Amino acid sequence: TVSCNDGVLLVTSGQPALGVRHFDVSEEGVTFARVVKQDCVVNYSFLCAHGVVAVQAGQTGTACRRGLPEGVGALRPIGWETCASDPGVEELHLAQSVLHQTWDVQMDANNLVKGCVGLHSGGIWPELHGDMANQKAALLARKAVAGGCPFFQNSNDRMARGHDFGSLFGIWVQGMQHEQGVRADMWARGVGRWGQEPTFLERMRDQASALTSLAFLAGASKENRTVAFCTFAEANCGKPAPFADGPQVFRHADVLNAVADPAQLRAYSTATVEQTETCFDPSLPLFASSGSPEHTQVRKLLDAAGFDRLHKQELPVIEDALPASLWQSLKSRLFGDATLSEKDVGKLVLPLVLQAVWEKKPSEDLVALSLDYLQYGKICIFGKKAEDLMLLNPINKPKVQKIREAVGAFASDSPRAEKFKTLIDKPEYAEVKAQYAARGRHPAEVLVANVADATLFAGVLGTTDMATKCVQYTRRDLSHLRLFRKDKASYLHELMRYDGAVTSVTTALKEKQRWKMEGRDVEFPPGTPVQMVLASANRDEAVFRHASEFNPDRADANESLAWNGRLEDVITRNYEGAPRLCPGYHVSVKIAEMVCEHLTKDLHSWGMKPSGVTDGDDLPLDGTVKILKKGRNQNRIAQISHVTRAGSYCVVDKAKRHSHLGCYAHSELEQLDHDSTFSRSLADELNRCPPFAQTAVTVVADLATSTYMSEWGVRWMIEKAIKKHAGTEHMTPDWAGPYVAPLYAAVLHGSLRTYKQRHADSVPIPMYTGRVEQFTIGSLTIPEFDIDNVWPEEDFEAYEDFVILPPYNCFQAMVRNAPFDDLLNHTDMNQWDLVMKDNAFARKKDWVLSWFKPYKTADGGEVWPDVEVDFASIFLKADMWDDELEKVMTFDLIGAHRVRATEKEFGGETLRYVINLNEFKDIPVRDNFGKFGNDMYFTENGIPAMIHTTDGREIGRGDKNWQYWKFAWRSSFLTIITLLDHLHMTHFRAGSTLAKAARATLSPNNPLRRLLSVFTFGTIDVNLGAAHTLVGPEHTLHRASPFRDFEDLSSVVPTLLEEPFALHAPLYADEAFDKLPELAKVSPYFADGKLLYGAIDRLVHKYFAVYEDGICKDGILSENSEAYLFTATLLASYQNAHYQSSLELDMTCSALKKRLSSIIWTVTGWHRHVGTVGDYYSDPELAAMSWKEGEAYSRPRQHMILAIITAFTAKKQPKLIEDYAHVFKGIDNEDLVVNIWEEFKQELDEISTLIDKRNSERKIKNYHQDPNIVECSVAV
């Protein structure tokens, strides 16, 4: 046992990131680890029990393993460990912060541990105690003594460290640890390049060790030097370790001090290895010490020659920069299945770099020859060591020299070389000129040759590496593609920090130093080469928060050392802070941006290519095309309808736009012009119908009519076929006629009785992106079909060729040609005493419902909407409607959003509230119908007291005509809400524009498209029907309502609509809510609506937060994002329909999120609020859409049409609270957004419970904001 006085060491092991921390132990338990096993969570704590340390295991969840105790667990002796690899363990989490043994900073609590978490006696490291600062000091001291990780005591400990890096990779790490020990042992004995001459055996051993190191760099680390160097750093816990011929240093502070040193010592070395003239001349500036006259002068000379302005010159487009033959070979790789190699990318980089540096375009032969430098130039890093190991051999050494000579010859007569030749003779460059003259050649010739070498080694190799990594990262991970497109420079800066092109630089010691190497004391003399590792310094957790995460927006980005100096100093060319900064930094980044952008242009940001793109030269097709594919449709002019997931273009005939011509590959079509969509009017729909179609429609209509109106013929057969209920009357010509009968038959038997309630699983995962042909009426345009409703292409073609019945739009255009007669002036027609003459019905409402109540939907539901409030049983008293009715309608149910405050003096009291409808009184109505309008004023308690009529009179409560004017007001009130707030605002202004823009601009895997798929489900289909039947003239709503110029009305109404964001302000803005009339504030709509709106707004913001980097740049919509195109399309739709809008393309992402929240609210909570009208329209004496002037009820014909509309538009749809997790399947961060949706559902559950509680206290229940009642879209 362990005494509580010793405390415990909490340790992470078995993984690269080691952690340690001392804890005092008390009787109060401290949770230190958490294990997840399926549905079981076990929390492990330590505590003091009877003077000794014990472990406590507490469990939660139903699936915990038997034997694990609840509450206080079994006591265990110290020396305890649990690992992520233990049987059944799914996740292991560290519950306390510990000190990172490599970077000497705190590792955050709740970290996922891939290795083990253990407890040890604090007595084994008594110095480690106290606060974090004291423990950090103890850690540093212990590491200094060990020359590595604090628990290293011997070579076996060091070798064992390799196991922490995995099974296979760990073997390599162990091998590296062994070889580093061998080198350290030789150095400790004074043997080395900078010490005594090694024996033959020692030389052989050194070469074997070097081969192992190179194999690790090139093989085990998969040629990723960042992986290799960071492994070196972590394996030795950040302490210096042997490299090739000198030590390597890992920590940011040490590396920064070296690269910022104005007197940094250099030698003729790279990678701590002596160089060879096969690769570099000794006079190359790379080997000149900082602050020396030669180094200072050559840097100034380069800037004088224009190196500080390289990036400002115009560079050619990619295809022009690359010779044609090389471009063709690259295209075959880029747009095939092969992965782009470094050489592929180099084909683009090399000519651009050469042209940028030398102001001269290289020949095709030079580019082809120089590409081999991408392979052999890297070998040059290891200089003489590479020669000793025959990596530089008689075969490739001549190739290196040939490339150097060819590029030098190319450069020698370039414009830049002419500048060098002029500058080198100036007095201010005397020392560097003398240095070059000592090489036995003309100084200018040496200068040009050196810059040519530097262009190859730093410019071509470095830029190609950067561009290659950019291409590979972005093609491998689309989140990287979005980050790159958001801010290219920031992306490359972070990429070079995260996985740099230049991973280390070689300096030299100025004076003798003694370091601990692999447990041995090694004395290094002055001039010893030292490898300063930029790769590990750029992953130093003490400098970069979450250093192993890729984040171009990180606040500490300027601390990156990727270009041989702090990034901020490099960008500003601050030679004091970064005396050896990369002189070609700016142009290198510019070229990498160009190349990476070009080689990823075929990629779609959210997982698909631009539709149909098969070749880098091809842009996506849209609009009008010619079919090239051989066959019956060859050379036909077509219009692109939509694009399949596989990238095929589905087209329709340009002249006969209803004719589907099939789906084609990009290469099988020729772009003609880019008119991307087309639309048809009502007249167009009728004109395109085939001659026989009218006959077909007439036959069907006559059959339906005969079923309900005829006393002879085939009626009995049809009744039997459709299972007509015996209790349903037959329609008679004196009120129904050839429009009402077939309409009723089609809706009841063709739609309602065959319908099954849809649920969340009805919402499809998007498969297509594109615009389809549109139907236009007034200022509204509605797509002809929804590309999210998936059907096989062959089925669609068969449907289009089906000639028995015309397509849907053609059918609708013909139906409206049925006779249109209101029958208001006939005493023997369209009268209630005629339809109720047998006294079978007590009230007109009973007769209306008799046509629906006997029938059920296919899944057993009612075809008439469920009754929520039986108004007649509560408010109809002695055939008079109580004034409480209008109060309830206005404040408790559908009208709260239209209440305005006023101070109207009438009848000796001040009326405080009003609903104004007289603004609509001038809308022309057909002959004999009552006019719409009337303003109703309410008392302070919400009781109606006066009506300002459409003819200017003020009718007070108690007036003999009070009941009539209340009916006229109720009917106007509900119709205005139905027409403006429900149909136009919700279905068209919010739903239709949102659905169209999402499908036209957002690819199927775009997360925004997936989210909006829920809230636009069924919208296009229902709105296409609504456009015909509810907006089109001489159709259903026109016949049920009194309006004369119905199509003109459809053009005027959009201009009357307030923007949703402004309309719904009281639900999200306290200032707007405070301005509401007092009774409106306490109305269920605003009280419950604020809850639901808030939940939707939080959903949108949480969802956006996951993907915002791919959508926004500096808080503004990124112009190259799909969200920008989506917003632009929304804005265009608003402008075309004359909708009010504050939407702007340069608006902040915060503003866009708020507007999306308001739109989603409009199609969900608001839709339910303004769209629930079944209880009103079931009763012709309660409210109607039309009435004969002077009558306080609707006529049978008009009300039956209204009832059909009401039943048809009340089919049950998926509810907001349902589980839509499947919609997010396969997108980036799927698990995260599914969790966000689950949190949203949980919040909706809480809201539903609260609304239930509120309704238990309400006289009139209102469930219109209950998430169990609210639909996910306007699909009905």
Q: Which residues contact 292 (CB under 8 A, 6 or more apart)?
A: none
How far apart, in whole angstroms, are the C-alpha atoms of residue 560 and residue 583?
16
Residue 281 pLDDT class (50, 70, 90 cuts):
very high
Question: Which DSSP letter does residue 1133 get?
Answer: H
Segment 628-634 mean pLDDT: 85
Give the three-class secondary structure for 881.
strand
CA distance 1053 to 982: 12
What pTM value is reported for the model?
Answer: 0.66
CA distance 613 to 619: 6
Lowest mean pLDDT among 199-203, 510-514, 573-577: 199-203
E strands, 957-1110, are none
Q: What is the mean pLDDT of residues 30-39?
A: 85
Residue pair 954/907 in contact by the 8 Å Cβ criterion: no
* 1046 — pLDDT class (breaks 50, 70, 90): confident
Distance, in Å, from the CA atom of 1101 to the CA atom of 1157, rounded to the nearest integer, reads 9
Instruction: Measure Cα distances from 136 to 257, 452, 540 in Å.
Output: 22, 48, 16
Q: What's the one-letter identity of residue 795? A: D
The two three-digit tokens of residue 1073, written as one number: 């809510």
Q: Encoding tokens for residue 597?
A: 């952008």
**Burial category of 723 from C-beta neighbours within 10 Å (exposed 0-12, middle 13-18, buried 19 and up):** exposed
Q: Where is pLDDT greater, at 907 or 329?
A: 907
**DSSP annotation string for 597-616:** HHHTTT--TTSSPSTT--ST
Does 607 score more than 70 pLDDT?
Answer: no
pLDDT digits over 672-698, tens only? 765 445 556 666 666 666 665 556 666
What confidence tens digit (pLDDT) does each residue in 646-668 have? 567 777 776 554 466 778 888 88
Lowest mean pLDDT among 679-688, 737-746, 927-936: 679-688
pLDDT band at 95 (very low <50, low <70, confident <90, very high): very high
**Cα–Cα distances in Å, from 799 out to 784, 793, 872?**
14, 10, 48
- Mean pLDDT: which of 65-79, 288-302, 590-604, 1029-1043 is highest? 288-302
Q: How far apart are CA 966 and CA 499, in angstroms?
A: 75
What percent of the chain stands above pLDDT 90? 57
Length of the chain: 1276
Nearest Cα residue to 259 out of 502, 556, 545:
502
Q: Where are the alpha helices (DSSP H) in 748-870?
A: 793-800, 808-815, 832-835, 844-850
For 112-131, how does the pLDDT look when each residue is reduced to its tens digit (9 = 90+)?
999 999 999 999 999 999 99
Cα 597 to Cα 57, 430, 474, 484: the distances in Å are 54, 43, 10, 8
Please state, in angstroms and rounded to a whole number, the distance separating the CA atoms of residues 1256 and 987. 32
Q: Which of 438-452, 485-499, 651-665 has the lowest mean pLDDT?
A: 651-665
| Mean pLDDT within 48-76 | 63
pLDDT at 491: 95
What is d(CA 799, CA 191) in angstroms, rounded to the nearest whole number? 86
Kindly list the distances between the CA atom of residue 461 and the CA atoms of 286, 346, 372, 378, in Å, as whole numbers in the listed order: 15, 8, 11, 8
Rounded Cα distance between 1143 and 351, Å, is: 45
Q: Which pLDDT does position 67 carry in this prediction?
A: 42
List, in order, residues 6 or more apart from 406 with CB less than 8 Å away.
Answer: 366, 369, 370
Tell me what the pLDDT averaged over the chain comes to.
Answer: 86
Contact 364, 323 (CB under 8 A): yes
Number of Cβ within a 10 Å radius of residue 121: 17
Q: What does the alpha-carbon distance between residue 242 and residue 519 come to, in Å, rounded to a whole number?
A: 11
Q: Are 1069 and 1076 in contact (CB under 8 A)?
A: no
Residue type, 501: A
Distance of alpha carbon 29 from alpha carbon 26, whole angstroms: 7
Question: What average pLDDT does this structure show over 359-364?
Answer: 93
pLDDT band at 613 (very low <50, low <70, confident <90, very high): very low
Instruction: Count other Cβ atoms within 10 Å, centred on residue 208.
Output: 13
User: For 385-423, what is each residue's pLDDT tens digit?
Assistant: 889 888 888 888 999 999 999 999 999 999 999 999 999
- Nearest CA to 125 out of 99, 105, 107 is that of 99
Two tokens at 984?
A: 């136009």
Strand partners, 11: 20, 118
The 8-class DSSP code of residue 987 comes to: I
Q: How far is CA 847 from CA 722, 1200, 1203, in A?
A: 21, 10, 11
Pairing mode of beta strands 774-777, 679-680: parallel
First to last CA, the chain: 71
d(CA 264, CA 199): 32
| DSSP label at residue 1164 | I
Phi and psi dihedrals of 947, rounded to 5? -120, 125
Query: Structure tokens of 927?
Result: 């002959």
CA distance 479 to 1107: 9
Average the pLDDT over each of 447-456, 564-573, 811-820, 1048-1057 and give the range with the smallest value. 811-820
Pairwise pLDDT comparison (1205 vs 1048), residue with the higher score:
1205
Instruction: Give the integer Cα–Cα distance in Å for 530 and 270.
Output: 9
Place of tokens 């001459």: 197
The order of strands in the sheet holding 40-49 is 52-60, 40-49, 30-37, 91-94
Rounded-to-10 torsion of CA 285, 291, 296, 298: -10
